[in-house]
């Protein structure tokens, strides 16, 4: 799914559910929320693409009741809380304990980082309550841990498999791919440790842990969709 396509579907999702809410129809309001935590290179984007295909087949043509929120969630946080666009550089999945960042906070060049984290949490909770969404990363599984309709997925794969995935699908050479995986995994782990005091590798935080090195992305998506349907059949068939 291209970034443009993802953003467009997210926009349609928000507009559609807002209209349903205001009109009182609320047709999809109680739909499930899927959170996806992932190791770098485990193919989360591809699994999400396959999930979207499967879910969209369940609804009449022309309707778009599902959306994926990953990088585009930053735009929603900015819109929800009326923040300047320059805030984007501070909303990634990373830890911010650097002198440069501390100085910027002291000088008042952007809101305190804990405030940005709280605002991100609020936006994720809003999406989860609406439902029929897939939220990737940013500790969404921990933020929505108490929501009964939330399903938490962890995607993993052997390092060699993830390395080959990055080289094949993102046209990276071996050295670049190795460094990218190391950096991204480190940032994501530190993000969870810093703000949630948990380990992203704790399997007890998830309903399903799927090894995409052992199954195709389409197969992984089918497992997730089947599990969601088994957990909430009345909701999925609304």
Q: How far apart are CA 111 and CA 87, in angstroms?
A: 9
pLDDT tens-digit map of 145-166: 998 889 999 999 999 999 999 9
Q: What domains lie within the chain, and their CATH numbers?
A: 3-82+118-236 (3.40.50.300)
State the pLDDT at residue 126: 84
CA distances from 209 to 33, 45, 104, 186, 227 (A): 17, 16, 39, 19, 12
Percent of the chain with pLDDT over 70: 63
pLDDT in tens, 81-100: 555 454 445 445 554 444 44
Pull the structure tokens for residue 128.
């989860």
Tokens 């990634």 — which residue? Answer: 92
> How many Å separate Cα 153 from the centre of its chain?
10
Compute the average pLDDT of residues 206-231: 93
User: Is pLDDT at 141 greater than 70 in this prediction?
Assistant: yes
Task: Look at 58-72, 75-89, 162-176 and tell me which has the smallest mean pLDDT.
Answer: 75-89
Q: What is the reported pTM? A: 0.75
Rounded Cα distance, 202 and 165, in Å = 24
């Amino acid at each position: 799914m291209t970034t443009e396509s993802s953003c467009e579907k997210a926009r349609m999702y928000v507009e559609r559910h807002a209209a349903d809410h205001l009109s009182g129809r609320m047709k999809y309001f109680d739909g499930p929320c899927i959170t996806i935590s992932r190791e770098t290179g485990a193919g989360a984007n591809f699994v999400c693409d396959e999930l979207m295909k499967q879910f969209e087949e369940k609804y009449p043509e022309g309707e778009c009741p599902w959306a994926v929120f990953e990088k585009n969630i930053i735009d929603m946080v900015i819109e929800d809380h009326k923040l300047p666009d320059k805030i984007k550089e501070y909303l990634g999945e990373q830890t911010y304990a650097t002198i440069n960042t501390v100085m910027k906070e002291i000088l008042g060049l952007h809101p305190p980082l804990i405030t940005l984290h709280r605002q991100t949490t609020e936006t994720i909770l809003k999406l989860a309550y609406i439902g029929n969404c897939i939220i990737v990363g940013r500790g969404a599984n921990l933020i929505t841990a108490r929501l009964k309709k939330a399903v938490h997925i962890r995607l993993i794969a052997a390092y060699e498999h993830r390395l080959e995935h990055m080289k094949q699908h993102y046209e990276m050479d071996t050295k670049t791919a190795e460094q990218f995986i190391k950096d991204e995994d480190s940032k994501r782990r530190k993000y969870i440790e810093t703000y949630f005091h948990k380990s992203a590798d704790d399997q007890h935080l998830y309903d399903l842990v799927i090894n995409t090195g052992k199954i195709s992305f389409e197969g992984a998506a089918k497992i997730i969709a089947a599990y969601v349907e088994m957990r909430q059949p009345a909701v999925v068939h609304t």
